[in-house]
Amino acid sequence: MRIVLIPLIVLVLEINLYPQQSILSKGVNYLSKFIASDYFLDLKKTNNDLELTDTLFLRAVKYKNYNYSEALLALTFATVPYKEVPIEFPLIGVLDYPLISANDSVFIKKDKNLPKELFYDTPKDNFGDKDKLAHFFGSAFISYSSNIFDLGDLIGYFVEVFEQSFKVQSSVDTRDLRTNKLGNIFGSILKKDKNVLPSQVMLIKSLSYFSYNL
């Protein structure tokens, strides 16, 4: 397990020490405010959550002047449903590591408005699949930004072990791994086709499930 933790910690720290962190922070704040806005809340009345996810993606891309890599990274942090993660360091113990996020008032509204019904098997509770957006966009960012070889699957697995090891959740979630894979696919397609939308890839799993069960 320790072999896995080292690159995980490096990955998290390097993203948080992103050379243009001020630009990243602005993007996260902008998207968080958009999700927390009354306008987005009104959209929720007439659009399903897959359509809202597409709207959020398109808004991020436009805000970043069609820099898809920066848009996906900002989306990853803007859709994380928690502000910090507990990390257990050797000798030091457990420390709460802060993630890039909006201020508390915006964060609370943003979390409340996050799209949550993304798949056919979304849990029927108030939280639903809110945590899946960060998995999806994070994996898409890795896949889209990787020019040498595809790290999407590897990073997706690391994210799962990260959550398990750092007590974000109690066990590896196969639904998270599936979402990571879909994000990986989305990032790969996005390299070739800028017209692809998150919902089109997210529907793959639901369509395959219902096709198999016909």
pLDDT in tens, 5-28: 333 343 444 454 555 568 888 999
Q: What is the pLDDT of residues 84-113, one digit of tens each?
A: 777 666 677 777 777 788 898 999 999 999
Question: What DSSP character marks residue 170?
Answer: S
What is the spatial distance between Cα 130 and Cα 122, in angstroms, rounded to a whole number?
10
Alpha carbon distances (Å) from 127 to 33, 113, 168? 20, 10, 15
For the whole prediction, is pTM greater than 0.85? no
Closest to 205 (Cα-Cα) out of 190, 185, 189:
185
Rg (CA), the chain: 17
Count of other CB atoms within 10 angstroms of residue 110: 24
Q: Measured in Å, how far apart are the chain's first and last C-alpha atoms?
A: 41
What pLDDT, on the 0 to 100 scale, is given for residue 79?
93
Averaged over 194-200, what is the pLDDT?
Answer: 96
Q: What is the pLDDT of residues 164-180, one digit of tens each?
A: 544 444 455 788 888 98
Percent of the chain with pLDDT over 70: 71
